[in-house]
């Protein structure tokens, strides 16, 4: 009886321990991160939206608030619109290239065994940790008039001798693909790893060739990885600032550079706010469109 009492007591105590935190502990712990995100994440975004309807006084540089749609109308302006479109096209092309290159790469890694697979994974992960500036700067050397890539392309008569491949849209594309590729390869690899080996055995038993297995079994089952990869590559790429600054030489402007110039250059902060708000809206649409798939991100990040 005493024993039973004791068990009951322990159980009650355990239950109390488990129930106590939800009452106040959770809210207490939640205060610092909540304050931080309210103050430095949500408030700035609201401010950004408010500023996008503001107007800058040309003489005093003071910003007046109101319901000016002028900044939003300016988005239709040639410079801004072409920058926005260029960003979207470059993002689209580099995301597709990443997916096309990333799938066979992930496949090759998933087929490697044991120690080799570990080494290969590490080889893909290390660049992802290396500084963006360093990685893209590295391409400058290779794409210069006397760079290795230029010399190779000249040797096969794709370019004239001494041609400068830097500061072109192509250079930006090379930088974007090589910078973001690990973020496509890793989620696809994770998705492939989740495929039940029994499914592959079944495919083989049913007489599917290796190629057909890849196309009809592995590819569809890797879709969650593709979607995570597309979000991980596409979203930061759209707002990219560093890569076009280095490899575009300021000539090929993307939306990130335009926002930079509006805020820190001689530009117009309300117009910059409108562009940034538009970018934010675009991302929200993309996220909502894929919201059911976003859960996958929790698994690969």
Please list every residue from 100 through 139 that binds another protein, using CB under 8 A. Answer: 101, 104-105, 107-109, 111, 118, 120-135, 137-139
214 binds another protein (CB under 8 A): yes
* Identified binder of another protein from the candidate list 56, 153, 221, 235, rule CB under 8 A: 235
Angle at 186 between CA 180 and CA 188, to 5 degrees: 105
Which tokens is 196 given?
Answer: 């039940």
201 binds another protein (CB under 8 A): no
In this structure, how many other beta carbons lie within 10 angstroms of the beta carbon of residue 156? 7
89 binds another protein (CB under 8 A): no
Residue 246 and residue 133 in contact, taking contact as beta carbons nearer than 8 Å = yes
Q: Which H/E stretch holds residue 56?
A: strand 55-56
The footprint of another protein on residues 135-164 (CB under 8 A) is 135, 137-142, 144, 146, 148
> Minimum distance between the CB of residue 21 and another protein, rounded to whole angstroms?
4
* Identified binder of another protein from the candidate list 33, 66, 114, 220, rule CB under 8 A: 33
Query: How many Å apart are CA 20 and CA 4, to the nearest integer?
Result: 24
85 binds another protein (CB under 8 A): no
Query: How many Å apart are CA 214 and CA 217, to the nearest integer?
Result: 6
- Separation of first and last alpha carbons in the chain: 52
* Identified binder of another protein from the candidate list 44, 161, 162, 265, rule CB under 8 A: 44
> Minimum distance between the CB of residue 167 and another protein, rounded to whole angstroms?
11
* Identified binder of another protein from the candidate list 21, 161, 162, 170, rule CB under 8 A: 21
Place of tokens 């055995």: 201
How many alpha carbons lie under 13 Å from residue 190 in its C-beta half-sphere? 17
Q: Which H/E stretch holds residue 11?
A: helix 2-20
* Identified binder of another protein from the candidate list 6, 8, 10, 92, rule CB under 8 A: 10
Tell me whether residue 194 or residue 216 sits nearer to another protein (CB atom): 194
């Amino acid at each position: 009886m005493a024993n039973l009492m004791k068990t009951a007591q322990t159980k009650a105590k355990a239950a109390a321990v488990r129930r106590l935190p939800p009452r106040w502990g959770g809210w207490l712990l939640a205060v610092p991160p909540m304050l931080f995100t309210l103050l430095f994440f949500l408030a700035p975004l609201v401010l950004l939206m408010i500023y996008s309807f503001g107007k800058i006084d040309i003489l005093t540089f003071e910003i007046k608030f109101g319901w000016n749609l002028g900044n939003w109308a300016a988005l239709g302006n040639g410079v801004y619109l072409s920058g926005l479109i260029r960003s979207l096209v470059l993002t689209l092309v580099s995301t597709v290239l990443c997916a096309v290159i990333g799938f066979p790469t992930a496949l090759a890694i998933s087929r490697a065994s044991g120690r080799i697979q570990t080494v290969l994974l590490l080889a893909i992960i290390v660049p992802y940790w290396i500084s963006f500036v360093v990685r893209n700067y590295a391409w400058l050397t290779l794409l210069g008039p006397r760079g290795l890539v230029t010399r190779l392309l000249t040797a096969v008569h794709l370019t004239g001798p001494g041609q400068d491949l830097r500061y072109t849209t192509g250079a930006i594309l090379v930088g974007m693909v090589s910078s973001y590729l690990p973020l496509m390869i890793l989620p696809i690899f994770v998705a492939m790893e989740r495929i039940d080996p029994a499914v592959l055995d079944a495919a083989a038993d049913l007489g599917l060739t290796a190629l057909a297995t890849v196309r009809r079994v592995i590819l569809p089952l890797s879709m969650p990885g593709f979607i995570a990869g597309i979000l991980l590559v596409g979203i930061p790429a759209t707002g990219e600032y560093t890569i076009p600054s280095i490899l575009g030489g300021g000539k090929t402007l993307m939306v990130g550079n335009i926002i930079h110039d509006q805020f820190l250059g001689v530009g117009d902060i309300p117009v910059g706010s409108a562009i940034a708000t538009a970018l934010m809206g675009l991302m929200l649409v993309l996220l909502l469109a894929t919201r059911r798939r976003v859960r996958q991100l929790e698994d690969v990040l």
